[in-house]
Amino acid sequence: MNKHRILITRATFDEVVTDLRRNFDVEMGGDDPCLPEELRRRAARADVLMVWGDRIDAALLDAAPQLVAVCNMMVGYNNIDIAACTERGILATNTPGVLDDTTADMAWALLLAAARRVTESERWLRAGHWKGVRFAEPLGRDVHHATLGILGMGRIGRAVARRARGFDMPVIYHNRSRLDAGLERECNARHVSLEELLAESDFLSLNLPYSTDSHHLIGAKELARMKPTAIIVNTARGGIIDDAALIDALASKRIAGAGLDVFEGEPDFNRSFLALDNVALAPHMGSATFATRMAMARLAAENARAALGGERPPCLINPEAWERRRFR
């Protein structure tokens, strides 16, 4: 009897691959993404795809006639055409819950780096400019007692909010639906309108999923409503901010700074960011710790095993596909 075939599109941990190979025929890609044509060719005989941000569209799904499931090794899934999966009875899964705290830590790393001008100062130091401590420069902005605004109060947003207690920060938030009173108390957070969030935040953290509704939710008009001393942090997804509008706001000092882990069109991001001193940049590494990435890979593997075993995966995104599934 032939083993079911799993294609892992990017290199992952040997322990996870070895474990899967006990029961399945596993092929693993390299560190870099495949070109679409190559990915379609390699997916043609796969029963499950374990993917890391690769674009899974209708054309790829049609090239993989025996595909049972697409298991994203990340929590966001805007790289997958969910409707196309559902229409074909292909299960789609993600990895929620295992990266909340790690991503919240990264949001705070960028917030602090931008506030205290850490990356700018490090570049200045490495260039050999430091001749002694100066009293009046470089001066950053205090984080303690400042107002933290959070746009998107899901699991990661709430983890960001909880960390604000250590800095004695009042927290305000805007969400599609208001949290219940217990969660608001836990996060020490007050619900406000989007307009109020923009106007009152000293630091604004974006923690919402990307969708057509959230595309360019923060553009020139929204940035103009923020304080000139405000700093915006995005560890969510590229495209939520209009990057061109943000570059203009940073260059003209309409806002004080930004901390960015995600970008539009990444990795082909807008290189104009590189000319700005008032932005801390990271290459989409919010979940990049050993423990968290291992947990993400293991959860994706668990989803794959369940799908191939005829069981409902624990992190099923499209439950409508369950009754249409190809493998029973």
Instruction: Pick the catalytic residue from 88, 163, 174, 284.
Output: 284
Residue 266 among the catalytic residues:
yes
Fold observed for domain 5-98+290-321: Rossmann fold (3.40.50)
Contact 178, 157 (CB under 8 A): no
Per-residue pLDDT of the chain in tens (328 residues, 90 and over written 9): 579 999 999 999 999 999 999 999 999 999 888 888 999 999 999 999 999 989 999 999 999 999 999 999 999 898 999 999 999 999 999 999 999 999 999 999 999 999 999 999 999 999 999 999 888 788 999 999 999 999 999 999 999 999 999 999 999 999 999 999 999 999 999 999 999 999 999 999 999 999 999 999 999 999 999 999 999 999 999 999 999 999 999 999 999 999 999 999 999 999 999 999 999 999 999 999 999 999 999 999 999 999 999 999 999 999 999 988 876 5
Give this prediction's pTM.
Answer: 0.92
How many CA atoms within 13 Å lie on the side-chain side of 173? 31
For residue 7, count CB atoms less than 10 angstroms from its CB and return exposed for 0-12, middle for 13-18, buried for 19 or more.
Answer: buried
Instruction: Pick the catalytic residue from 4, 163, 237, 293.
Output: 237
Cα dihedral sign, 71-303-90-316: negative
Helices (H), ranges, the chain: 14-21, 36-43, 58-62, 82-87, 100-115, 118-126, 155-163, 181-187, 194-200, 220-224, 243-251, 290-308
pLDDT score, position 33 = 85
What is the amino acid identity at position 69? A
Instruction: Pick the catalytic residue from 27, 266, 302, 320.
Output: 266
- Intrachain domains 5-98+290-321 and 100-281 with the same fold: yes
C-alpha separations of 135 from 2, 112, 123, 138 in Å: 71, 20, 19, 8
pLDDT score, position 327 = 64
Residue 165 among the catalytic residues:
no
Q: Does domain 100-281 have CATH number 1.10.10.10?
A: no
Residue 4 among the catalytic residues:
no
**Alpha-carbon distance 211 to 34, whole Å?**
24
pLDDT score, position 226 = 98
Give every CB contact of residue 286 below 8 A, 6+ residues apart in sequence: 99, 102, 103, 106, 107, 235, 261, 262
- Structure tokens that stand for 275 in this block: 């000319």
Place of tokens 């108390």: 185
Give every CB contact of residue 260 below 8 A, 6+ residues apart in sequence: 110, 233, 234, 273, 279, 280, 281, 282
For the chain, the domains span 5-98+290-321, 100-281
From its phi and psi, is residue 2 left (phi > 0), alpha (psi between -120 and 50) or beta? Answer: beta
pLDDT score, position 1 = 57
